[in-house]
């Protein structure tokens, strides 16, 4: 068994209404955590938007995205670049039916 420690970074960030800005900030935090030695980086729940799960509002369905999709592909790139494992929750668009 290896004696090397696994470093886990837990990211706290204030998320606003603009998903692309939130995503870019999350990537900055991931890179910073990797530079500080993190092997695993955990992002806040539904980090791409303001947290909306306290109420049921069908307008929030517009925030859903495909998995795999743009975000998962970008996270794959960042994970390879930084050598980290990224744990992130996404609001997944469901199939019709």
Task: Tell me the pLDDT of the chain (97 aa) as tens digits.
Answer: 566 899 999 999 999 999 999 999 999 999 999 999 999 999 999 888 876 666 776 776 677 788 899 999 999 999 999 999 999 998 778 766 5
Bridge partners, residue 40, by sequence: 8, 85
**Does residue 22 fall inside a structural domain?**
yes
pLDDT score of 54? 67
Query: Total domain count for the chain?
Result: 1
**Does residue 2 fall inside a structural domain?**
no
pLDDT score of 59? 75
**Does residue 94 fall inside a structural domain?**
no
pTM to 2 decimals?
Answer: 0.85
Residue for token pair 């500080």: 36
**Does residue 3 fall inside a structural domain?**
no
pLDDT score of 97? 56
Domain extent at residue 23: 8-87
- CB-CB contact of 67 with 90 (8 Å): yes
Residue 2 phi, psi dihedral angles, 5° rounding: -75, 145
């Amino acid at each position: 068994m290896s004696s090397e420690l696994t470093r886990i970074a837990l990211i706290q960030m204030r998320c606003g209404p603009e998903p692309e800005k939130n995503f870019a900030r999350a990537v900055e935090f991931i890179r910073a955590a990797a530079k500080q030695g993190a092997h695993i980086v955990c992002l806040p729940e539904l980090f791409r938007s303001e947290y909306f799960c306290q109420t049921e509002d069908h307008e929030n369905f517009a925030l859903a995205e495909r998995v795999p999709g743009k975000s998962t592909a970008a996270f794959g790139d960042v994970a390879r670049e930084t050598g980290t494992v990224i744990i992130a929750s996404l609001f997944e668009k469901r199939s019709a039916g």
